[in-house]
């Protein structure tokens, strides 16, 4: 191949994803061992997840339930019957040296997820999503740190058998930022469904396929419509070891640049698997196509085919963010921005609806979307950090709604102190003396100020109107600043004139 100069603009990036998410279940997918994280290696293990001779898998229905929820959320086809296969390969983290997974009859097929990318709504096709078991984890000690260069390797099977859902997208992404937006959206949906915990280390793992295709290969001129032939003709790299949506964007941006540079210099892009090295910010070659594995898939006879059709009808899923966002606009009259903020996580949305059910929805929106999320964001805190304190926030909104304290004091003093000092709102109001003073108290302060300052009274009587300001100041001091200065002015005049 002769070197050929190609303009950067003539190249189109095509990306498809395989996303592994750990499903949140109490026990593992094929045995009763706990999925809780523990520091003690090989603690949550039994004959089944250790692959001891003679042990047999039994499917955890909670994992199937999670998979059906995901299927419904991505609007996938859930078949009448689904089945498990064995994927055969040798690796020290794999207790049986085969992985129980799904092959040609996955639990979810042909779904989609709508994503907003820089204001544009895009639909990403999801080819399939299937259930499988997670392998154990390896710790390489000494040497170069890899399995082939370490002095020795330790194996921990606590993770082995954790239920995984592998979600495979069509090659529908045209940029790393689209991938990031999709993954953020996917995480949001999964958390809404209550099947996934993003905080959990290793709960999200991504393999991404990236190819660069000359623009003229695109058939219809529509950048989202790339022919299978053009795709097959281009060499692709599979990038492994990505563990977050931010990491995905970085890894793919690196890989995109690497491939475009190669093409511009007239070099061929190797079809290969590459490893994303997060700390160095680069991808490194792992193996070339020649070494691609033959997994010898065949049916797992120990698990009978599973009839899932009725599960689909029996399992309900919560309202998803996009539907909830629209309902918030209709039902509470919110603008799109506020509705989006209030549906950013399920907890925020649930909390908003709690508050809006008791108080004015606009006031609730201001308090939850602007004040609360704003102050949390400023402190790098999340709504989850307020676990167990939602009643306190509701009480604060109540104090404002009933005009017990001013909105300004509520926001600037009470809320901040609640977050910084972890104090309850009533305690803060009392300690800081922020309660709006009642009229009797103001009246008493007015009388006292007149009694205690005969000189000022005389000055006022002799026509010095400025003396009234001195007296207002005295009353304000007595009421700790909680009285309204205008009201005080009028009360003083009434008392002096009377």
Partner 1 sequence: MSDDIFITEETIHGDDDGPLAGTTVAVKDNISTEGVRTTCGSKMLAEYVPPYDATVVSRLKEAGATIVGKANMDEFGMGSTTETSHFGSTENPAAPGHVPGGSSGGSAAAVAAGEADVALGSDTGGSIRCPAAFCGVVGIKPTYGLVSRYGLVAYGNSLEQIGPFGETVEDAAALLDVISGHDERDATTHEVPIEDDASYADAATGDVDGLSIGVPTELLEGADEGVVETFWGAIADLEDRGAESHEVSLPSVEHAVEAYYVIAMSEASSNLARFDGVRYGHSSDAEGNWNERFAQTRKEGFGDEVKRRILLGTYALSAGYHDKYYKKAQDARAWVKQDFDEALSEADVLASPTMPVPPFELGESLDDPLQMYLADANTVPVNLADLPAISVPAGETDGLPVGLQLVGPAFGEERLIRAASALA
**Largest Cα–Cα distance of the chain, in whole Å?**
107
Q: How many CB atoms lie within 10 A of CB 293?
A: 10
Candidates 43-51, 67-75, 311-319, 345-353: pick the segment binding partner 1 (CB under 8 A). 43-51
Minimum CB distance to partner 1, residue 151 (Å):
12
Listed in sequence order, the DSSP H helices in 25-76 are 61-73
Out of 65, 112, 302, 487, the only residue in the binding site for partner 1 (CB under 8 A) is 302
Burial of 384: CB neighbours in 10 Å, binned 0-12, 13-18, 19+: exposed
Q: Give 90 or 199: the residue with its C-beta nearer to partner 1.
A: 90
Provide, rounded to whole angstroms, the least separation between the CB of residue 80 and partner 1: 19
Q: Which of 26, 92, 215, 379 binds partner 1 (CB under 8 A)?
A: 92
Pick out residues in 237-296 that bind partner 1 (CB under 8 A): 294, 296
- The CA-atom distances, in angstroms, between 455 and each of 140, 157, 387, 429, 497 are 87, 87, 57, 35, 16
Number of Cβ within 10 Å of residue 492's Cβ equals 24
Residues 6+ apart with CB under 8 A from 196: 21, 22, 23, 24, 187, 190, 203, 204
As measured in angstroms, the least distance from the Cβ of 104 to partner 1 is 12
Q: Which residue in the set 28, 69, 72, 86 belongs to the binding site for partner 1 (CB under 8 A)?
A: 86
Q: Kindly state the smallest distance separating residue 175's Cβ from partner 1, in Å.
A: 34
Distance CA 239, CA 290 (A): 17
Choices 17-25, 91-99, 307-315, 424-432; region in contact with partner 1 by CB under 8 A: 91-99
Are 359 and 330 in contact by the 8 Å Cβ rule? The answer is no
Residue among 154 and 461 whose Cβ is closer to partner 1: 154
Instruction: State how far the Cα of 230 lies from the Cα of 219, in Å rounded to an integer.
Output: 9
Q: How far apart are CA 74 and CA 78, in angstroms?
A: 11
Figure out which of the listed residues 19, 23, 98, 273 binds partner 1, where binding follows CB under 8 A: 98
Is residue 155 part of the contact set for partner 1 (CB under 8 A)?
Answer: yes
Binding span for partner 1 by CB under 8 A among 95-103, 112-120, 182-190, 463-471: 95-103
Nearest-approach distance from CB 58 to partner 1, in angstroms: 5
Q: Rounded to the nearest whole angstrom, what is the least distance from the CB of residue 144 to partner 1 in the complex?
A: 12
Asked if residue 123 lies in contact with residue 159, where contact means CB atoms within 8 angstroms, the answer is no
Considering the complex, what minimum distance in angstroms separates the CB of residue 55 from partner 1?
Answer: 7
Position 144 contacts partner 1 (CB under 8 A): no
Question: Considering the rule CB under 8 A, would residue 47 count as an interface residue with partner 1?
Answer: yes
Smallest separation (angstroms) from partner 1 to the CB of 63: 14
Burial 323-341 (b: 16+ CB within 10 A, else e): ebbebbeeebebeeebbbb
Sheet with 98-101, side-by-side order of all strands: 98-101, 85-88, 298-299
**Rg of the chain over CA atoms, in angstroms?**
32
CA–CA distance, 253 with 242 (Å, rounded to integer) = 13
Binder among 7, 40, 53, 120 for partner 1 (CB under 8 A): 53
Asked whether position 163 contacts partner 1 by CB under 8 A, the answer is no
**CB of residue 293 vs partner 1: minimum separation in angstroms?**
10
Q: Does 424 bind partner 1 (CB under 8 A)?
A: no
User: The tokens 């640049």 sit on which residue?
Assistant: 257
Stretch that binds partner 1, among 147-155, 203-211, 218-226, 283-291 (CB under 8 A): 147-155
Contact set for partner 1, span 434-493 (CB under 8 A): none
Question: Rule CB under 8 A: which residues touch partner 1?
Answer: 47, 50-59, 86, 88, 90, 92, 95-98, 147-148, 153, 155, 294, 296, 298-299, 301-304
């Amino acid at each position: 191949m002769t070197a050929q100069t190609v303009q950067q603009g003539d190249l189109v990036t095509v990306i498809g994803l395989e996303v592994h998410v750990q499903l949140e279940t109490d026990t593992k997918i094929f045995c009763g061992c706990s999925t809780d994280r523990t520091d003690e290696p090989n603690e949550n293990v039994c004959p089944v997840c250790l692959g001891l001779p003679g042990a047999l898998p039994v499917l955890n229905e909670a994992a199937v339930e999670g998979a059906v929820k995901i299927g419904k959320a991505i609007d996938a086809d859930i078949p009448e019957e689904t089945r498990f296969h064995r994927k055969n390969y040798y690796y020290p983290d794999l207790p049986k040296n085969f992985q129980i997974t799904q092959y040609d009859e996955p639990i979810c097929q042909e779904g989609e997820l709508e994503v907003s990318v820089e204001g544009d709504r895009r639909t990403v096709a999801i080819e399939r999503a299937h259930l499988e078991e997670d392998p154990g984890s390896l710790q390489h000690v000494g040497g170069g740190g890899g399995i082939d260069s370490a002095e020795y390797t330790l194996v921990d099977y606590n993770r082995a058998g954790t239920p995984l859902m592998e979600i495979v997208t069509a090659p529908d992404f045209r940029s790393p930022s689209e991938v990031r937006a999709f993954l953020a959206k996917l995480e949001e949906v999964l958390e809404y469904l209550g099947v996934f915990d993003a905080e959990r280390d290793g709960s999200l793992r991504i393999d991404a396929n990236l190819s660069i295709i000359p623009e003229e290969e695109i058939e219809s001129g529509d950048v989202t419509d790339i022919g299978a032939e053009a795709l097959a003709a281009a060499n692709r790299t599979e990038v492994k070891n990505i563990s977050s949506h931010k990491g995905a964007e970085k890894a793919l941006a690196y890989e995109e640049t690497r491939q475009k540079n190669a093409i511009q210099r007239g070099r061929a892009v190797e079809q290969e698997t590459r490893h994303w090295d997060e700390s160095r910010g680069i991808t490194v070659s792992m193996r070339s196509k020649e070494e691609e594995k033959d997994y010898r898939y065949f049916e797992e006879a120990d698990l009978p085919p599973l009839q899932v059709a009725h599960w689909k009808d029996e399992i309900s899923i919560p309202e998803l963010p996009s539907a909830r966002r629209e309902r918030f606009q209709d039902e509470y009259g919110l603008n799109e921005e506020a509705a989006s903020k209030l549906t950013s996580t399920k907890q925020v949305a649930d909390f908003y609806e709690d508050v809006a059910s008791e108080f004015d929805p606009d006031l609730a929106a201001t308090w939850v979307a602007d004040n609360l999320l704003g102050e949390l964001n400023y402190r790098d805190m999340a709504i989850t950090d307020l676990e167990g304190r939602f009643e306190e926030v509701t009480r604060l909104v109540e104090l404002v709604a009933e005009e017990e304290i001013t909105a300004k004091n509520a926001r600037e003093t009470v809320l901040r102190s609640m977050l910084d000092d972890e104090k309850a709102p009533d305690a803060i109001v009392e300690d800081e003396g922020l309660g709006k003073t009642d009229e009797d108290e103001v009246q008493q302060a007015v009388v006292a100020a007149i009694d205690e300052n005969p000189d000022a009274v005389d000055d006022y009587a002799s026509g010095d109107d400025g003396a009234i300001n001195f007296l207002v100041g005295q009353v304000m001091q007595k009421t700790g600043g909680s009285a309204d200065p205008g009201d005080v002015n009028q009360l003083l005049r009434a008392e002096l004139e009377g």
